[in-house]
Chains A and B, each alone.
Chain A
Amino acid sequence: MAATMPTHLDQIKAAVQSEFGNTMDLIVRTFATGSGRSGLIVCFDGLAEGKGVETALNAVTHWTNPPFSYPMVDGDPITILKESLVGLPEVKVARKLDEVFTAVLQGQTAIFLEGAGTALLADTRYHPGRSVDEPATEAEVRAARDGFVENIILNITLVRRRIRDPKLRFEPQQIGRRTRTDVALAYIEDLADAKLVAEARRRLQRIEIDAVLGTGQIEELIRDSPLSPFATVAITERPDRVSAALLEGRVVIMLDNTPFCLMLPTVFWEYVQTPGDYQLSFLISSFLRLLRLIAILTALTLPSLYVILTTFHHEMIPTPLALSVAGGREGTPLPTLLEVLGMEITFEIIQEAGLRLPRAIGQTVSIVGALVIGEAAVQAGLVSPSTVIVIATAGITGFAIPSFSASLSIRLVRMPLLLLSGTLGVFGFIMGTSILALHLCSLRSFGVPFLSPVAPLRRMEQQDTLVRFPTWKLNRRPGLGLQDRSPRQKQDLMPQPPKGGGSS
């Protein structure tokens, strides 16, 4: 490939043709400037915005008498053109064809002039995509309603609007040999630990892959403990969550063409936290977080505990419950373990089936699921009603987990735990939960222990884990152990009646 730019338009045209070949959306057009010099314009239909191209073309074709009042731009017509193209926000001079090709693929328009030896790149990038919409996976009751879209520039804007801090950085990168996807490494320079930023940058630069189509690939390529079922990188599509993360000194990786962002480091407690927590009273949000933790534990252990109690430790069930469970089991053909396992798998399948169906058919699935699998199976004596209740409860509590990836992890871990409990009884259950606890303790996310600040316990950093302290007590940024330790607000902000006992 030619390193330097040919001077003749024919040569350029040939080079463009050989690079892009015969493709439908390529626009290569020759024109004549006002002064009679011939020129060439190259851009991609759809990537480049029509209005911008028109502005550029207008400027060039009406360009008859270059303003020679700038002595330093003397001579080079491209440089002169660049100075005069004021209708567009960003114009650059390119000296190499490679540069031109990359720019054109981003939606810029390249303008060549016969004999110039350089090219003008006009920023005519067009950002298609849907408008900002409510986030689908992280709906909130009382918090901002905007969610990220597939356009990174718009996403960055959404964050920048929230944090008007000059230190906020969106470091540009491109990942993917073929997709050349724009990636922004976002952080606040004087908050985020430089080592964390460097580590995130290093892990991103390590990636040599031909295509990146979503956050999944990036996540799997940069995360710690890549074999763990638990996500050690948090994912969100909420600008307020990203902003909060940035303000805590964390690093966010934003990717073009996806509404999801990666936040790192992350800890387990984020599984029970939502942005809405900070908009509600601290009492309520603490209660809700506790509730979500209970939901996580229930979703994880309820089927196993049910199997253990009904097949191994009957003495632990209160007598009336034992009798009613036993009554429900009269005449059911399968042992409890298989019954629970079967219902569990059925439930997962119903969930999976409902997920991708068009909304109209989705209703059919839920009706069939509820009536046929639940009601009819009990009526027919195939499964006991208590099993259905247990599976339904475990399923519902699974949905109560705010983090989708956490919910998936729990669903995944639930099965082996169930098998262990069903075969080895309470011994297997304890074994499974112990392994799980050890595994969680061993996890790290970008140098931060996954269970911190609870394990290892850091007493001074408990303000925002399971219990959310009132805002006037959240004086320090949560202890991800990495960043600037200065308080983030004035102490003693607790509202109080005026001192001095007014008689008013």
Chain B
Amino acid sequence: MRAGRRAVAAVLVAAALMPLGSGCWDARELNQLALVMAVGIDQAAESGRYTVTVQIARPGGQEGKSRGGGSGDASGGEPIYVAAADGDTIFAAIRNLAQFTSRRIMWAHNNVVVIGESLARRNITPVVDFFTRNQELRMRTWVVVAKGTDARYIVSAQTGIERVPADSISALFRYAQLPGESIKSDVNDVSAAFFSPDLTPVLAAVQLNERALRPSENPRGQGKVPQVELAGIAIFERTRLIGFVERETSRGLLWLRRQMRNASLTLPCPGSSDEHMAIEIRGPRVTVTPRLVRGLPAFHLHVDSHAWLTEQDCREYRVDAVQLKEHVRKELERKIAREVQATMKVLQTELKQDAVRFGHLTHVRYPAWWKANRPRWRELFPQVPVTVSAEIRIPKMGLYVRPEAPEAPE
């Protein structure tokens, strides 16, 4: 009886201690982790080895860190720590990082994946594969191509106003819609395009440019600091980079990909081409419709939007509101058509790559035609014509018809 009770007690105690016996399963303290903020991937030309560069946030160097912390050496100092390691595969390279980083690499907070141009020109399959396979990574991480440089330089650059440079890079995309000159490309988009038979990946490109000045005690010795800036759009052919659409011509691409969220355009004044007015377009509804004309698809882009007159420098009041609206609509149409044509020229003659999803649109609209002509699409694409039309509404127009200027003395 007594022994039986003791046995029961022993089992109960063992059961009670069981959760503690496991320790804290998979528990990792936040300060034992290296939070990766940005990662760059390059490939060496000869050996084919991958180099992975990670930008890790140092919590001690952040705002709002613990004051003192006793010794004080853990806190303060640089906000980031950049390290690189190489390996035969991306995963191996990351594992090699562990040889010298004191903390476990943690990917969940990664903002940006930068692909070096040389790697992008060769084959991005390993990158897409690794970053879609890893469950710690988010599908909403930006993916960009480092134009004309290796990814490691982008990742290690002290760029932007934020303490963590990766935040600055990430913010470039968050606000990329303002100038309307770059696209947002995240892992999700890239892998979707990558795995679709009709699409091809289109990534934002970044480059280093010596934009910022380093404040210095010596006024002569101000050094220039390279900053990461948006540099147009990288066009891929399935797995490899074939070229860039420059920033100036990238707006047409955005129109055609229906990714234009916000655009500001400069239009000539009515009846005077050397005076200008600025129009801002917000949240346009863009439709691209294919139409088969004599066995070849033709595309029509229609923009339907509200437009705000944000600035008007026209010195003379020449037209009434209705005429002004018609003028803006026409000029807008011309302007967008020009932008679209410029982009199409690059895509159709230089790159010969359907980066505007025309193939996909045709597939959806004319499946039979697409089935018959898919193998010839590469040859047909450079010939497809694009037309543009626009419809605008100008709210609060009355406020803008007369320029704000002092009355000329009589």
Residues of B within 8 A of A420 (CB): 19
A326–B136 Cα distance when bound, in Å, is 19
Q: Does A422 interact with chain B (Cβ within 8 Å)?
A: yes
A314 beta carbon closer than 8 Å to chain B = yes
Instruction: Note all chain A residues with C-beta closer than 8 A to B65.
Output: 324, 327-328, 330
Q: Does A326 lie within 8 Å of B30, measured CB to CB?
A: yes
Across the interface, which residues of A come within 8 angstroms of B35, CB to CB? 314, 319, 322-323, 326
Residues of A close to B1: CB separation below 8 A: none
A283 at the interface (CB under 8 A from B): no
Taking the complex as formed, is B29 at the interface, i.e. its CB lies under 8 A from any CB of chain A? yes
Chain A positions within 8 Å of B136 at CB level: 315
The A-contacting residues of B in range 80-122, CB under 8 angstroms, are: 106, 108-109, 111
B68 contacts the other chain (CB 8 A): yes
CB neighbours (8 Å) of B31 from chain A are 326, 329-330, 332
CB-CB < 8 A to B68: which residues of A? 379-381
CA distance A381 to B111 in the complex (A): 30
Q: Do B20 and A423 have beta carbons less than 8 Å apart?
A: yes
Given contacts A314-B30, A330-B31, A379-B67, contact A423 B57 (CB under 8 A): no
Q: Is A31 an interface residue (CB 8 A)?
A: no
User: In the complex, what residues of A have CB within 8 A of residue B74's CB?
Assistant: 330-331
Whether B108 lies near A329 (C-beta < 8 A) is: no
Residue of B24, B29, B71 near A329 (CB, 8 A) is B29
* Contact indicator per residue, chain B 26-58, by CB within 8 Å of chain A (1) or not (0): 111111010101000000000000000000010
Question: What's the tally of chain B residues with a CB closer than 8 Å to chain A?
Answer: 37
Q: Which residue of A lies closest to B163 (CB)?
A: A323
**A41 touches B (CB below 8 Å):** no
Q: DSSP class of A's interface residues: helix, strand, loop or mixed?
A: helix
Among A325-383, those with CB < 8 Å from B are: 325-332, 335-337, 378-381
Q: Is A384 an interface residue (CB 8 A)?
A: yes
**CB atoms of A314 and B108 under 8 A apart:** yes
Residues of chain A with a CB closer than 8 A to B75's CB? 327, 330-331
Q: Does the CB pair B24–A335 fall under 8 Å?
A: yes
Closest to A325 in B: B30
B69 touches A312 (CB 8 A): no
The answer to whether A314 and B62 touch (CB under 8 A), given A337-B24, A381-B70, A425-B26, is: no
**Does A419 lie within 8 Å of B19, measured CB to CB?**
yes
> Which residue in B19, B59, B67, B111 is a CB contact (below 8 Å) of A424?
B19
Inter-chain contact B27/A311, CB cutoff 8 Å? yes
Return B27 CB to nearest CB of chain A, in Å: 4
Tell me whether B219 is interfacial, beta carbon within 8 Å: no
Q: Is the CB of A337 within 8 A of B59?
A: no
Most chain A beta carbons < 10 A, residue from B27, B60, B62, B68: B27
- A314, B71: Cβ atoms closer than 8 Å: no
Select one of A319, A328, A422 contacting B66, CB under 8 A: A328
Is A55 positioned at the interface, with any CB of B under 8 Å from its CB? Answer: no
Contacting pair A315 B108 (CB below 8 A): yes
Instruction: Collect the chain B residues with CB atoms within 8 Å of residue A319's CB.
Output: 35, 37, 109, 111
Asked if A275 is at the interface of the complex by the 8 Å CB criterion, the answer is no
User: Could you write out 15 A-B pairs with CB less than 8 Å apart?
Assistant: A310-B29, A312-B26, A312-B27, A315-B138, A319-B109, A328-B66, A329-B29, A330-B59, A331-B75, A337-B27, A381-B66, A419-B19, A423-B23, A424-B19, A425-B25
